Structure 1
């Protein structure tokens, strides 16, 4: 298994299991060594302190590993969850692990799992605006490369046929009926002298024609 998907907090938990099952006579409260500080105070370092300090340092490496790009997020989360579930089950169900040291190590495993989820959510929220900016810049570059687009001229508006027919009917003059008197007045003159009208008077039969 690669170091990318390996849960580092499994190391102090595994050390606790080795001590509990294989070395039952070893006490977590027994001092490993004593350090003399500048103030002159003697600080006894126990096995419990060493395991908790190791767990804190490994948690720091887990956070750094989860924050870098390209890491296997799903595998890291799954393994961190399994480590926390196993540690919590041992702390609750087995009396040998009912100590403050093991409780703090279990709490560190929980922090590792929750911090991985928080880092992934933050990274996704930060990548979403960046992707939107890149796509917007790409569209802008495409528009500048294509150049200005010439809008087509609008097609001439054609009036509907009903409107044209109505305008033609309105412009056409109405036919006028001539009056009978006008017909009589405009009757053509007959060139034959014998056939000229005499205002309704009929010629006498005794008058010879001219």
Structure 2
């Protein structure tokens, strides 16, 4: 049953914790604060904010979700349905919650949409290869 839990819930929960101010700082301004700054060999300064880290986490989660979509297991249909619910939660929060109307949240919403569409596409494609019509 744990296989059915969509991993995109992780960035959703992390963003909401940041929005509530539970990740340090005072709510959403913490999304723009630099977590770390590195001096590159070229002399350029590279920094990563909390919002950037959320996007990186969501992309890594998307990779694992697409990998999981290639497996035909008992929980894959439930995973797809729950991924759709996570996407709907992203969409509703983006439209109705003022603090969710940010670029970071919109990118997370888009990644959740790609997760849903990509998961269904990969599952349908792999299921089509599994079905053999008698010859």
Relative to the length of structure 1, the TM-score reads 0.59
The question of whether the paired residues in 2 share the 8 Å contact of 1:12 and 1:55 is answered with yes
Does 1:109 find its partner at 2:112?
yes
Return the match for 2:65 from 62, 65, 75. 62
Bigger relative contact order (CA 8 A; separation at least 6): 2
Distance 2:32 2:109 in 1: 18
Shift of 1:41: 1.1
SS in structure 1 of the partner of residue 67 of structure 2: helix
Shift of 1:29: 0.8
Q: In the alignment, what sits opposite 1:10?
A: 9
The question of whether the paired residues in 1 share the 8 Å contact of 2:39 and 2:46 is answered with yes
Q: In the alignment, what sits opposite 1:88?
A: 91
Return the match for 1:32 from 19, 31, 35. 35
Shift of 1:71: 5.1
Structure with greater proportional helix content:
2
Give the number of aligned pairs: 131
Does 1:41 find its partner at 2:44?
yes
- Considering only aligned residues, what root-mean-square deviation do their CA atoms show, in Å? 1.6
4+ long deviations beyond 6 Å: none
Relative to the length of structure 2, the TM-score reads 0.89
Distance 2:74 2:7 in 1: 15
Q: In the alignment, what sits opposite 2:56?
A: 53
**Structure (1 or 2) with the larger CA radius of gyration:** 1
User: Structure 1: 5+ residue runs without aligned partners?
Assistant: 137-210
